[in-house]
Amino acid sequence: MAPGIATPERCRLPSVKALMVSWSALLAWISLAMKSSGIAKKERAKALFAQQKYEAAKQLLMQVCRKEQQDVEAWFTLGIVHGAMGEMAEAVPCFEQSIRLMPELAEAHFNLGKAKFELDQVDEAIRSYQQALQLNPNWPQVLNNLGNAYSRLERAHEAMSYYQQAVTLAPNYVGALINFNNTIQLLGRYEEAVAGYKQVLAIEPGHSLALTNLGTTLLKLERYDEAIDCCRYASQLFPDNPGPPAIEAKIHAMKGDWESAYQILDPLIQSHPEHIQVVISFAVISHHVGRQDEAVRLAKNVLAVDRSEPLSLRIDLHFELGKIYDKQKKYAEAFQHFAKGNELKPGDYDADNEVQETRLKTTFFTKEFFQQQPQPVTTSERPLFILGMPRSGTSLVEQILDSHEQVKGGGELYVIDDFARKTTEMAQHPYPESLAKLTQDERERFITGYLAKLNKISVDARYVTDKMPQNYLHLGLIAWLFPGARVIHCYRDPIDTCLSCFFQNFKSTLTFSKDLHAVSHYYRQYRQLMAHWQKTLDLNFLNVSYEALTADQEGITREILEFLELPWDENCLNFHDNKRVVATASMQQVRKPIYRSSVKRWKHYEPYIGVLIDNLGEL
């Protein structure tokens, strides 16, 4: 609670700019003219408060409150002074007394909410903010603080709603804009967050937090050059802010350049051991520099004391701790942090909706549907779809293929999922029924749009991969757009797959991964849908087992190349030397030769995953 906190008109300090006297002269005048008056003491306290002489102001106001217990102004102002001194517990009864004396005093409800929030009494803070909002419905600061309260409770969608209302009332309210975009970034809406942070920078060029968060979001979108430029610009403007260089170090780590990452982070971890972004990036590289124990200590310190950073960063740190403990074979501690990171994520898995979505696809995409469809005019075999459950080996397969001279890895493209949503908007009908409402010209525009995206990645490669794992959800759409496309379906031991999903810090829209019951239910829906696709579609499928690939890399790689009608390329065996940037959860795996430590990994966690074993053991 800062000195500039909202106060009612009657409680605000009178302007003294018009008085051509010094503060000391003003105080002397008040003292002589109204020495024994409560009014004089309040006015003198306000003047002292303006000079940040909080203790003296507090003593005067306490005298007034003891003598004149019905003086709402004195109680309110005393609460403000306590807040400015960080004495939140003492501020609370002052604001409560103000409210008893004047229930319609919106500012007292607002400041009581702030004090309660600082005391971590979040539910009570929300009640106070709601009271203030009833009295003044168009108060952006209250709406922003309600967003902060719901964010503290990890209720991101409600927080986002309040931030949005605050920004609607005050479009240039930078604090609310930052909070809103932090929240939509947490929910995986990265493109919108990029636009939002740029909006903040248009209002306040060089805003440190906006630049830092913009760099982080560009990183999530795999726009690495832009992210590095953003970080370096922020570092030039704010050389004392360790956030931007810490993010740049993380980008170097994603490129496999551990030395450059370490050169940036080593001095930062000495100078800013409490900075959460520095600690996150340090945790990422700690295994490669032999400093895991130090990373654990720093991470635990940050998590123990820091509550001001965006929730997404605290989630990141829990997952990084889980990874370190896993490498150290401290499986109980690892599971604890993976579980906590998932617990903090917003959103809940809707099992009924998932069942309904599966039913819609299997009912709509039938052999009869495809028999009735005309062949598209534009055809291409360039798209190569690598898909399956997340954590099933899609990144490994793509990295192997990207090492071939005729294949270019496109990474996880969001284009197919975007197309599915756009069909709903265009046809004014839910997907997938929306496809039946589209014209042939609209279909062709989707096809040419996707091929244009591939051309931006490479104009020369025979194949450009799209390894968005969850494109398996849209194989019906893919078959409608590209009847001749090749599809590599990656699969893995069900329990290993689901546990690995639970251990990954996926964006918050992938709610199935945050709970063992949810991920096992989701896996069963995946199996059901894939069985339907392989029975119904005429696409060229190749099923690739992760366990088989790690046991016989050359043999399975040859099978994949034969499926693609490509000649053998020895570089495919040395995929780990490929310098392309990998931004997925498999970032570290594709930097090493094939290893089998992830096969039957779930055995290490058997005491904690009874749900998965019970739900998936027979598959």
What the block records as the tokens of 485 is 């496309």
Sign of CA dihedral 219, 407, 505, 194: positive
Read off the pLDDT of each residue in 187-204 and give the average, rounded to a whole number: 92
Is the pLDDT at 24 greater than 60? The verdict is no
Sign of CA dihedral 420, 425, 428, 430: positive
pLDDT at position 518, please?
96
pLDDT at position 13, please?
39
Is the pLDDT at 371 greater than 80? The verdict is yes
Least trusted range by pLDDT, from 312-321, 518-527, 556-565: 312-321
pLDDT at position 608, please?
96
Nearest to 487 by CA among 381, 384, 410: 384
- 579 versus 101: the higher-pLDDT residue is 101
Is the pLDDT at 7 greater than 60? The verdict is no
Helix (H) / strand (E) element for 147: namely helix 140-152
- 213 versus 507: the higher-pLDDT residue is 213
185: confidence class by pLDDT, cuts 50, 70, 90: confident
602: confidence class by pLDDT, cuts 50, 70, 90: very high
| Residue 26 resides in a domain | no
**Domain range enclosing 457:** 377-616
pLDDT at position 580, please?
57
pLDDT at position 12, please?
39
What mean pLDDT, rounded, does the chain reach? Answer: 89
Answer whether 175's CB lies under 8 Å from 204's CB: no
Answer whether 409's CB lies under 8 Å from 467's CB: yes
Number of independent structural domains in the chain: 1
| Residue 316 resides in a domain | no
Helix (H, G, I), strand (E, B) or coil at 131: helix
Is the pLDDT at 573 greater than 70? The verdict is yes
Read off the pLDDT of each residue in 191-214 and give the average, rounded to a whole number: 92
Is the pLDDT at 254 greater than 80? The verdict is yes
**pLDDT tens digits along 338-351:** 999 999 887 789 99
28: confidence class by pLDDT, cuts 50, 70, 90: low
582: confidence class by pLDDT, cuts 50, 70, 90: low
DSSP letters for 591-619: GS----TTTTGGGGGGGG-HHHHHHHTT-
| Residue 442 resides in a domain | yes
Is the pLDDT at 306 greater than 90? The verdict is no
Read off the pLDDT of each residue in 274-289 and give the average, rounded to a whole number: 94
**pLDDT tens digits along 91-149:** 999 999 999 999 999 999 999 999 999 998 999 999 999 999 999 999 999 999 999 99
- 584 versus 17: the higher-pLDDT residue is 584
Strand order in the sheet with 486-491: 407-409, 463-466, 383-388, 486-491, 540-545
pLDDT at position 221, please?
83
pLDDT at position 39, please?
86
241 contact partners, CB below 8 Å, separation of at least 6: 208, 212, 234, 235
What the block records as the tokens of 36 is 């024994």
| Residue 419 resides in a domain | yes
Share of the chain above pLDDT 70, in %: 90
The verdict on pTM exceeding 0.85 is no
Read off the pLDDT of each residue in 164-191 and give the average, rounded to a whole number: 92
Share of the chain above pLDDT 90, in %: 72
| Residue 172 resides in a domain | no
Is the pLDDT at 567 greater than 90? The verdict is yes
pLDDT at position 598, please?
75
The C-alpha angle 561, 564, 570, rounded to 5 degrees, equals 25
| Residue 181 resides in a domain | no
CATH number at residue 417: 3.40.50.300
How far apart are the C-alpha atoms of 241 and 234, rounded to whole Å? 8
Strand segments, DSSP code E, in 416-509 are 463-466, 486-491
Amino acid at 352: D
Is the pLDDT at 23 greater than 60? The verdict is no
Is the pLDDT at 589 greater than 70? The verdict is no
